[in-house]
Amino acid sequence: MAKVRVRPETNTLFLDFSFRGKRCKEQTALKDTPANRRTLEAFANRIKREMAKGTFQYRAFFPDSPRAAQFDDSPAVAPLVGVDTPATPATGKALTTPTLGEFSETWYQENLPRWRQTHAETVQGTLRQHILPRLGERMLSDISRADLLAFRAELGKQTGKAGSALSPSRINHIMTPLRMLLAEASERYEFVTPFRNIKPLRLPKLDIQPLSLDEVHRALDVIRKDWHPYLATRFFTGMRTGEINALEWKHIDFDQDLILVRQSIVQGRLESTKTDGSMRDIPMVPLVRMALLEQRKLVPEGCRWVFAQSNGEPINLVNFTNRVWHPLLRHLGLAARRPYQTRHTAATLMLASGENPEWVARTLGHANTEMLFRVYSRYVPNLTRNDGKAFTGLVSASSVQSGGTSPAKDTKHSPTTPLSVLTRKQLEALVAQLQQQ
C-alpha cells in the first residue's frame, strides 16, 4: 500500500510503497501541507487501485524515475495477495511471496543497525533455533493464524536447558521476532498479517523477595569490608547488575551527588543502556556517597571501574553470586534469592519511605509507574503501617468536624477548624488521638 510520508530535512512529501517485492520511494516537490497531502493521497489511491487490478505500470506513474527502468523489461504483475485472496483478477493464478526464511535475512540485516549486539545475537539465535526450522520454508502469504497458534503450542511442549518446559515469558520472547517480521512483510508485500488478535501469553505474577530494612543493615554489618561499598550501592540505588558492574569513575559526580547511568555490561560486553529511560541520573543518599568514597580508597589508582575484581576487570556476576551473595544469605539465615533482589529491595524501601512513585520510577529507570504499582504495591503497607489506619482516622476525624456521631467527641481538634489547613504533624496527632479512644 502506497503511503504518504514527509522528509524532515526538506519538509517535502514522498510516496513509500512496495512493488514486486522491492521497496520504492518517490520524492515530490510538494511541501507538507494539508492540501498537498490530500492531493498526494489521491495519487497513492490510484496506485493502489492499479496494483489491485494488476495493471500498474511504474513508468506510467513515474516517467522520470530512475527506478522505472528496473520494471520495463517485464509485464506488470498483480499485487501479492493475502490469505483471503488466493488469486489475482488479471491472471487467475496465485502469486508467490518470498519464503519466511528468505525474507528473514533481509529483515534481520535491515534492523541490525538499530539493535544492540547482544539483542541481535538473541534474535538470530531465536530465528535459527525455533522459527526457521518450523516456518522457514513457508511462503509469507501462506502462513495463517492457525499456523502461528500451532507453532506456539509446540513451543509450550518443548523443554529448556534445565529440562523444564519453556516459560510463558520465554515463549513470548520467541514469538516477538516472528510478529515483527510478519508485520514488516505484510506492509511490504500487501497482505494482512496473520498475527492479528494473537495476544501474548499471560505471565504469572512476578514473585519478588526484597529484604527488609533491618535485614539490609544486618547484611551490611557482616559483609566483608571490600564488598561493603558494592552491596550498599546496590541496596540503596536499585541499579541493575549490568549497570552497576559497568559503572566508571567518570560517571560519579560527587559535586552534585549523582550517579550517571550511561552503560551496562550485557553477556560480558559493554553496551549502551537498554532504553532511553535507563539512561538516568541517580541521586546519592548519604550512605551511598560514603560507600563510594570508601570504595575509591580500595581500588588501585588508575582503575576505570568503580567496582572491580583483583585483576582490574569489572565484577563477575557468577563469582559474586557464588562466593559472596549466597554465603551471606546463609550466614544471616535468609532464604536463597538472586542478587537482583537488591533492586527490588531498593524499590520497596523507596516507596515505603513515602517517595513520589514517579521519582522512584525515574530513579529505577522505568518508563512509567505501571510496574511499581503492579509489582511492589503489596509490600509497601507491610513496611510502613497496617494498611487503612490512616484512612480510617481521616474519615473519623471528618465525622467529628461535621458533628456526626463518633466516640471521639472530646478531641482537642476544634470542629470549626477545617482538616485541609492542619499541618501534617497536627493531622497525625489527631489520628493517633482518635485511635487511642
Can you give the three-state secondary structure of the chain, one letter per residue?
CCEEEEECCCCEEEEEEEECCEEEEEEEEEECCHHHHHHHHHHHHHHHHHHHHCCCCHHHHCCCCHHHHHHCCCCCCCCCCCCCCCCCCCCCCCCCCCEHHHHHHHHHHHHHHHCCHHHHHHHHHHHHHHHHHHHCCCEHHHCCHHHHHHHHHHHHHCECCCCCECCHHHHHHHHHHHHHHHHHHHHHHCCCCCCCCCCCCCCCCCCCCCCCHHHHHHHHHHCCCCCHHHHHHHHHHCCCHHHHHCCEHHHEECCCCEEEECEEEECCEEEECCCCCCCEEEECCHHHHHHHHHHHHHCCCCCCECCECCCCCECCHHHHHHHHHHHHHHHHCCCCCCCCHHHHHHHHHHHHCCCCHHHHHHHHCCCCCHHHHHHHCCHHHHHHCCCCHHHHHHHHHHHHHCCCCCCCCCCCCCCCCCHHHCCHHHHHHHHHHHHHC
Q: What is the pLDDT of residue 50?
A: 82
Q: Is residue 333 part of a domain?
A: yes
Q: What is the pLDDT of residue 226?
A: 93
| Shared-domain flag, residues 130 and 35 | no
| Shared-domain flag, residues 395 and 325 | no
Q: Is residue 225 part of a domain?
A: yes
| Shared-domain flag, residues 377 and 397 | no
Give the chain's domain count: 4
| Domain stop point among 359, 382, 405 | 382
Q: What is the pLDDT of residue 204?
A: 81
Domain of residue 237, CATH code: 1.10.443.10
Q: Which domain holds residue 36?
A: 3-71
| Shared-domain flag, residues 21 and 108 | no
Q: Is residue 197 part of a domain?
A: no
Tens-digit pLDDT profile for residues 197-228: 899 999 887 778 999 999 999 999 999 999 99
Q: Is residue 81 part of a domain?
A: no
Residues facing residue 159 across a β-bridge: 165
Q: pTM to 2 decimals?
A: 0.60
| Shared-domain flag, residues 32 and 117 | no
| Shared-domain flag, residues 362 and 396 | no
Q: Is residue 195 part of a domain?
A: no
Spacing of C-alpha 314 from chain mean position: 25
| Shared-domain flag, residues 415 and 366 | no
Q: Is residue 145 part of a domain?
A: yes
Cβ 191 vs Cβ 182: under 8 Å? no
Q: Is residue 95 part of a domain?
A: no
Q: What is the pLDDT of residue 206?
A: 74
| Shared-domain flag, residues 56 and 149 | no
pLDDT one digit per residue (tens) for the chain, 437 residues? 678 899 888 888 999 888 887 888 898 888 898 888 888 888 888 888 888 777 888 888 888 888 888 887 644 444 433 333 333 333 333 446 889 999 999 999 999 988 888 889 999 999 999 999 999 999 998 899 999 999 999 999 988 777 788 999 999 999 999 999 999 998 888 788 898 889 999 988 777 899 999 999 999 999 999 999 999 999 999 999 999 999 999 999 999 999 999 999 887 888 888 676 789 999 999 999 999 999 999 998 889 999 998 888 999 999 999 999 999 999 999 999 999 999 999 999 888 888 888 888 999 998 888 888 888 877 665 544 444 555 555 555 555 554 544 444 444 444 444 444 445 555 556 556 655 55
Q: Is residue 432 part of a domain?
A: yes
| Shared-domain flag, residues 354 and 246 | yes
